């Protein structure tokens, strides 16, 4: 004897009378609003041909949604959860940033999956497909305010998407590095110290003697952390200082220079004159998302420019004594 709810030829006969009676009693008023009396009579007689058919027709007329009795727990934590990608799901290309608390193996793979295509959709869908309905089984997997999402992966050598896993998406969650870059760039700029160039000997340079320069910035801003888009962001930068010494000479330096005895940035002038010296600091940043990375901050490098006037004098020998 087949178990109740099994999908085979015998399930239509098991409990047919009880199913038909329940459906007709529950939906009598709604059905009468949609069907004339003759069709309602035919609906009542459907029980002799199978209680399952009567139930399906009655539910279709009234718009009530029920879970399929043969849904397997292994497919999803709730009977109404989809296990196939929806063509209307959000699509992503390349690296994908999954929130903290997701399977770390999946998180690491998604963050370094160049050439991959992704579809992201709510795990629980209502009858209209809007994705804002809740299923008890899936809702319990996420904290309050978060939605359980399904993640489908298509690698370059595959012909169809495959279910890769799931995660909890809170409000404002960013899934692609490009979605985070504007916020990271804006935050990173606030960490940059101002340029404040100086030179030694103070007051004047001496012809044919090295002048020492300093940008007035540290060699590194270190690694800075801040929250953004539902993730913990770490950002770090590399800097190059470009000095234009005003006499036609220019050079790039990996050091910001400094006061004596720091000789990392020096220049010697060959004639007496007041020169306009400028320095440009160019910052290129990279970032990590929840420890995964690094990713380069796209767009043009961030630059700062400052200048100073440098009078250069000819040294004169003076006899003393």
DSSP, residue by residue, 21-64:
HHHHHHHHHHHHHHS-HHHHHHHHHGGGG-HHHHHHHHHHHHT-
Residue 80 lies in a domain: no
Lowest mean pLDDT among 122-136, 174-188, 305-319: 122-136
**Residue 84: pLDDT band with limits 50, 70, 90:** low
Say whether pLDDT at 102 is over 70.
Answer: yes
> How far from 130 is each of 86, 125, 142, 152, 308, CA to CA, in Å?
11, 6, 19, 18, 61
How many other C-beta atoms are found inside a 10 Å radius of the C-beta of residue 206?
15
Same domain, yes or no: 249 and 293: yes
Q: Dihedral, CA atoms, 162, 165, 169, 175, nearest 10 degrees?
A: -60
Residue 76 lies in a domain: no
294-320 burial code (b ≥16 CB/10 A, e <16): ebebeeeebebebeeebebeeeeeeee
**Residues 256-267: what's their mean pLDDT?**
94
How many other C-beta atoms are found inside a 10 Å radius of the C-beta of residue 56?
14
Residue 1 lies in a domain: yes
Q: What is the pLDDT of residue 318?
A: 66
- Three-class SS of residue 5? coil
- For residues 206 and 315, the answer to whether their CB atoms sit within 8 Å is yes
Same domain, yes or no: 165 and 188: no
Last residue of a domain, one of 137, 169, 201: 169
d(CA 252, CA 250): 7
Same domain, yes or no: 240 and 307: yes
Q: What are phi and psi of 137, to 5 degrees?
A: -65, -45
Same domain, yes or no: 158 and 60: no
- How would you classify residue 163: left for phi > 0, otherwise alpha for psi between -120 and 50, otherwise beta? beta
Same domain, yes or no: 194 and 279: yes
**pTM of full prediction above 0.85:** no
Total domains present in the chain? 3
Q: What is the pLDDT of residue 140?
A: 61
Last residue of a domain, one of 113, 140, 169: 169
Residue 318 lies in a domain: no
Lowest mean pLDDT among 69-73, 173-177, 184-188, 230-234: 69-73
**Residues 264-293: what's their mean pLDDT?**
93
pLDDT digits (tens, 9 = 90+) for 197-231: 999 999 999 999 999 999 999 988 999 999 998 88
Which of 173-177, 279-283, 298-302 reaches the highest mean pLDDT?
279-283
Lowest mean pLDDT among 23-27, 257-261, 285-289: 23-27
Share of the chain above pLDDT 70, in %: 67
Round the CA-based radius of gyration of the chain to a whole number and report it.
35
Q: How far is CA 98 from the centre of its chain?
A: 7
What pairing do the DSSP bridges indicate for beta strands 292-296 and 147-154?
unpaired
d(CA 86, CA 118): 11
Residue 205's contacts (CB-CB under 8 Å, 6 or more residues apart) are: 199, 211, 269, 310, 311, 312, 313
pLDDT digits (tens, 9 = 90+) for 26-68: 444 444 444 444 433 433 443 443 443 333 333 333 332 222 2
Residue 278 lies in a domain: yes
CATH number at residue 228: 2.60.40.10
Same domain, yes or no: 270 and 229: yes
d(CA 160, CA 139): 28
Q: What is the pLDDT of residue 300?
A: 86
**Residues 171-179: what's their mean pLDDT?**
85
Last residue of a domain, one of 70, 100, 128: 70
Say whether pLDDT at 298 is over 90.
Answer: no
Q: What is the pLDDT of residue 74?
A: 36
Say whether pLDDT at 106 is over 80.
Answer: yes
Q: What is the pLDDT of residue 17?
A: 47
What pairing do the DSSP bridges indicate for beta strands 273-289 and 231-244?
antiparallel
pLDDT digits (tens, 9 = 90+) for 107-161: 889 988 888 999 999 887 654 544 444 454 555 678 888 888 999 999 999 999 9
Q: How far apart are the first and last CA of the chain?
A: 126
Same domain, yes or no: 215 and 250: yes
d(CA 223, CA 244): 29
Share of the chain above pLDDT 90, in %: 40
Residue 233's contacts (CB-CB under 8 Å, 6 or more residues apart) are: 180, 184, 187, 225, 226, 227, 287, 288, 289
**Residue 90: pLDDT band with limits 50, 70, 90:** confident
Domain range holding 123?
Answer: 90-169
């Amino acid at each position: 004897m087949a178990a109740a709810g099994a999908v085979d030829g015998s399930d239509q006969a098991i409990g047919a009378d009880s199913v038909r009676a329940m459906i007709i009693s529950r939906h009598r008023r709604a059905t009468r609003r949609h069907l004339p009396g003759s069709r309602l009579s035919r609906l009542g007689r459907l029980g002799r041909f199978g209680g399952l058919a009567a139930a399906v027709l009655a539910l279709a007329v009234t718009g009530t949604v029920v879970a399929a009795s043969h849904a397997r727990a292994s497919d999803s934590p709730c009977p109404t959860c989809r296990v196939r990608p929806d063509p209307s799901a959000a699509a992503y290309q390349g690296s994908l940033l999954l929130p903290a608390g997701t399977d770390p193996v999946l998180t690491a793979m998604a963050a370094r999956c160049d050439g991959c295509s992704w579809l992201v959709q709510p795990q629980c869908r209502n009858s209209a497909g809007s994705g804002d309905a809740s299923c008890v089984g899936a809702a319990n997997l996420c904290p309050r305010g978060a939605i359980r999402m399904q993640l489908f992966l298509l690698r370059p050598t595959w012909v169809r998407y495959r279910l890769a896993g799931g995660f909890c998406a809170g409000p404002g969650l960013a899934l692609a590095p490009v979605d985070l870059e504007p916020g990271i760039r804006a935050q990173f700029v606030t960490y940059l110290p101002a340029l404040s160039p100086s030179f030694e000997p103070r007051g004047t340079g001496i012809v044919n003697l090295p002048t020492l320069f300093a940008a007035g910035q540290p060699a590194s801003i270190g690694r800075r952390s801040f929250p953004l888009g539902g993730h913990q962001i770490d950002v770090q930068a590399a800097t190059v200082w470009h000095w234009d010494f005003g006499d036609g000479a220019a050079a790039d330096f990996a050091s910001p220079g400094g006061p004596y005895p720091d000789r990392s940035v020096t220049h010697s002038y060959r004639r007496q004159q007041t020169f306009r010296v400028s320095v440009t600091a160019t910052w290129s940043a990279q970032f990590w998302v929840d420890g995964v990375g690094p990713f380069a901050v796209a767009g043009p490098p961030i630059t700062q420019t400052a200048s100073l006037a440098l009078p250069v004098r000819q040294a004169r020998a003076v006899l003393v004594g």
